[in-house]
C-alpha cells in the first residue's frame, strides 16, 4: 500500500507513523524542509519538499501509484486543491482525505456536493471530532475517555481511579458479577503509563486508568459500576468562542435534551459573530480566567465547565477556577499532549485533544480489508482494533479460551451480525465475526495474524 501524506505537522506525523507501523510505503510532502528532515529521522518514509497541491510535486511523490492521499496541512485551501489535483491527475480508486477546519465551508456548502466537486472521499473536521468527544463526556460525566466500537453499538469508557474509589483493593473477578440483561468487561488498565491486560486476580490501584467495555444500551450499568454522578448535565459553560466552542454551542442548541448554554469569549468581534449565529446561547465578553466575571455570572452553578480555547494554560486555569467555584464537572482542551498527565494531577476530569480526535477519525476511514476500525487509548501507544475473523484462521471455530492470543492482547468485544457480545472464555469464535482487540503494536500485529486466513 502506497500513501501520500501532505503536511508534516502533528496530525500528518501521527498518520504517517501509524501507516508505517502497518508496513505501508509512505511519502510525506511539506514545504518546510527542516520539518521533513525531523520526520525522516524518526520514521521510515520518503519525503518531498514542496506544496502538496502542486501537480509537479504530486507527480514526483508518485501519485500515479498511490492507494491513498491524506491532505492534513494547516491550510484548508491547500488540502482541498491537493485532492482536486489528485482526482484530475490520477482518476483511480485511490482514496482522498482532506482536513478542513474552517466552519465557513460547512455553513455554505452541501458536504456531499462539495466532496464530489473537489474529488474528496472523506472530509475530516478536527473541531467537529472534538465536539463529538465532548458530547460523549457530557453523557458520562467525570470519565477520562469514551471510545465507540462496533459502529457505536459498544462503548469503551475509561476512568482514572482516585485514592478513595470503591473499586480499589478487590480482585477484578469480584467486581464484575454476571447480571441479567447486561454484561460489562474491564478491558484495559493504564498504570503509570504502562498498559496492563487485566486478569481475574488483578487488583486495581489508586491512579489506575481503567477501561470498561459495555453495550451502548448499558449506559446505566457503566455509571453504576464507576459510581458516576447520576444527575444529567443541563447547564453548560463554554470558555473559548473559536471553531470548537462555536460548533459545540451549536450542537448543544440542537440537542433535544434542552441544554442551557453560556459561552465566554474575550474578542469583541468574535462575540458579535457568535451572537449572530447562535440562537439560544448566551454570549459573554470576558476572560474565562476572570474569577469576578465567573462569580457574577453564577458559573459555579454549571453542571459542565468546558474550556476549549487554543491556549492550553488558559484552559487549565479557567477549569481550575470553575471547579473551585463549584462547577460539577470540567472538560479541558489541551493541544500539547505532554500536558495530559497534569490534568488529572491537579484534580480536573475529562481531557480532549483536537489532534488525537482528528488522527483517530482519519485512521478509521483509511482502514480496509480485515481491519474494520481502530481507535487509540490514552497516551496513544495502545489501540482497540476491530478485526474480521477470516475462514481458515487459527481462531475460527474455537472457544476463546483455546485461542493462543499473543501476550498483551485482550478480546474486548465480538460483533456477529447485529449482535454485540462481551466475550467470555467459552465464547466460540466463528468465521465472519468481528473481534475488537485491545493491545499495543506487537500484540495487535500478532492478533491480526492469528485472526487472518492462511
DSSP assignment string, 97-144: EEE---HHHHHHS-HHHHHHHHT-SEEE-HHHHHHHHHHHHHHSTT-S
Span 346-369, average pLDDT? 75
- Quote the pLDDT of residue 181: 44
Query: Comparing 121-125, 168-172, 226-230, which segment has the lowest mean pLDDT?
Result: 226-230
**Mean pLDDT taken over the chain:** 87
Cα–chain-centroid distance for residue 14? Answer: 13
Separation of alpha carbons 13 and 228, rounded Å: 36
- Quote the pLDDT of residue 17: 87
As to burial, measured by CB atoms within 10 angstroms (0-12 exposed, 13-18 middle, 19+ buried), residue 314 is middle
- Quote the pLDDT of residue 285: 97
- For the stretch 386-409, pLDDT in tens is 888 888 888 899 999 999 988 888
Comparison of pLDDT for 43 and 385, the residue scoring more: 43
Separation of alpha carbons 30 and 57, rounded Å: 10
3-class SS at 281?
coil
Cell numbers standing for residue 418: 447485529
- Quote the pLDDT of residue 91: 75
Instruction: Kindly tell me if the per-residue pLDDT of 151 is higher than 80.
Output: no
Instruction: Kindly tell me if the per-residue pLDDT of 180 is higher than 50.
Output: no
**Spatial CB neighbours of 325, under 8 Å, sequence gap ≥ 6:** 291, 294, 295, 299, 300
Span 323-350, average pLDDT? 82
Separation of alpha carbons 228 and 58, rounded Å: 51
- Quote the pLDDT of residue 169: 86
Instruction: Kindly tell me if the per-residue pLDDT of 341 is higher than 90.
Output: no
Span 79-94, average pLDDT? 89
- Quote the pLDDT of residue 8: 94
Provide the angle, in degrees to the nearest 10, between the axes of the packed helices 243-254 and 126-139. 50
At CA 404, angle to CA 398 and CA 407, rounded to 5? Answer: 145
Instruction: Kindly tell me if the per-residue pLDDT of 65 is higher than 80.
Output: yes
Separation of alpha carbons 83 and 335, rounded Å: 27
- Quote the pLDDT of residue 371: 65
The percent of residues in the chain predicted with pLDDT above 70, rounded, is 94
The domains found in the chain, sorted by start residue, are 2-124 (3.40.50.720), 130-226 (3.30.70.1450), 235-357 (3.40.50.720), 362-451 (3.30.70.1450)
- For the stretch 223-269, pLDDT in tens is 888 888 778 899 999 999 998 999 999 999 999 999 999 999 999 99
Spell out a b/e string for 265-294, using b for 16 or more CB atoms within 10 Å of the CB, else e. bbeeebbeebbeebeebebbbbbbbeeebb
Separation of alpha carbons 331 and 316, rounded Å: 9
Separation of alpha carbons 349 and 375, rounded Å: 21
- For the stretch 309-332, pLDDT in tens is 999 999 999 999 999 999 999 999
Amino acid at each position: 500500500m502506497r500513501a501520500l501524506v501532505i503536511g508534516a505537522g502533528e496530525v500528518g506525523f501521527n498518520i504517517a507513523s501509524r501507516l508505517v507501523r502497518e508496513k505501508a510505503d509512505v511519502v510525506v510532502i511539506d514545504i518546510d524542509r527542516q520539518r521533513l528532515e525531523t520526520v525522516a529521522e524518526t520514521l521510515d518514509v520518503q519525503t518531498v519538499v514542496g506544496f502538496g497541491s502542486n501537480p509537479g510535486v504530486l507527480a514526483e511523490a508518485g501519485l500515479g501509484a498511490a492507494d491513498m492521499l491524506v491532505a492534513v496541512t494547516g491550510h484548508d485551501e491547500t488540502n482541498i486543491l491537493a485532492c482536486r489535483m489528485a482526482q484530475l491527475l490520477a482518476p483511480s480508486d485511490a482514496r482522498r482525505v482532506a482536513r478542513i477546519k474552517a466552519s465557513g465551508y460547512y455553513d455554505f456548502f452541501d458536504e456531499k456536493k462539495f466532496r464530489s466537486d473537489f474529488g474528496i472521499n472523506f472530509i475530516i473536521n478536527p473541531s467537529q471530532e472534538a465536539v463529538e468527544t465532548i458530547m460523549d463526556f457530557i453523557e458520562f460525566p467525570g470519565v477520562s475517555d469514551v471510545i465507540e466500537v462496533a459502529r457505536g453499538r459498544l462503548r469503551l469508557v475509561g476512568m482514572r481511579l482516585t485514592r478513595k474509589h470503591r473499586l480499589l483493593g478487590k480482585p477484578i473477578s469480584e467486581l464484575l458479577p454476571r447480571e441479567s440483561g447486561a454484561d460489562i468487561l474491564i478491558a484495559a488498565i493504564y498504570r503509570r503509563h504502562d498498559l496492563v491486560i487485566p486478569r481475574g486476580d488483578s487488583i486495581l490501584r489508586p491512579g489506575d486508568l481503567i477501561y470498561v467495555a459495555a453495550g451502548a444500551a448499558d449506559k446505566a450499568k457503566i455509571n453504576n459500576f464507576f459510581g458516576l454522578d447520576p444527575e444529567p448535565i443541563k447547564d453548560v459553560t463554554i470558555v473559548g468562542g473559536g471553531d470548537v466552542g462555536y460548533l459545540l454551542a451549536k450542537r448543544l442548541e440542537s440537542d433535544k435534551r434542552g441544554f442551557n448554554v453560556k459561552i465566554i469569549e474575550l474578542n469583541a468581534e468574535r462575540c458579535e459573530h457568535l451572537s449572530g449565529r447562535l440562537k439560544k446561547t448566551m454570549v459573554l465578553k470576558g476572560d474565562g480566567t476572570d474569577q469576578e466575571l465567573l462569580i457574577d455570572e453564577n458559573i459555579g452553578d454549571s453542571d459542565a465547565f468546558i474550556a476549549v480555547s487554543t491556549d492550553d494554560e488558559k484552559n487549565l486555569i479557567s477549569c481550575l477556577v470553575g471547579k473551585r467555584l463549584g462547577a460539577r464537572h470540567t472538560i479541558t482542551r489541551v493541544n500539547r499532549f505532554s500536558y495530559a498527565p497534569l490534568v488529572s494531577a491537579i484534580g480536573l476530569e475529562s481531557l480532549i485533544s483536537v489532534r488525537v480526535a482528528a488522527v483517530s477519525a482519519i485512521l478509521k476511514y483509511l482502514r480496509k480489508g480485515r481491519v474494520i476500525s481502530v481507535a487509540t487509548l490514552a497516551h496513544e501507544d495502545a489501540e482497540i482494533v476491530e478485526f474480521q475473523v477470516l475462514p481458515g484462521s487459527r481462531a475460527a471455530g474455537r472457544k476463546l479460551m483455546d485461542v493462543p492470543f499473543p501476550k498483551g492482547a485482550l478480546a474486548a468485544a465480538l460483533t456477529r451480525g447485529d449482535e454485540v457480545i462481551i466475550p467470555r472464555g467459552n465464547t466460540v469464535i466463528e468465521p465472519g465475526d468481528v473481534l475488537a482487540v485491545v493491545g499495543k503494536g506487537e500484540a495487535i500485529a500478532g492478533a491480526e495474524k492469528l485472526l487472518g486466513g492462511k
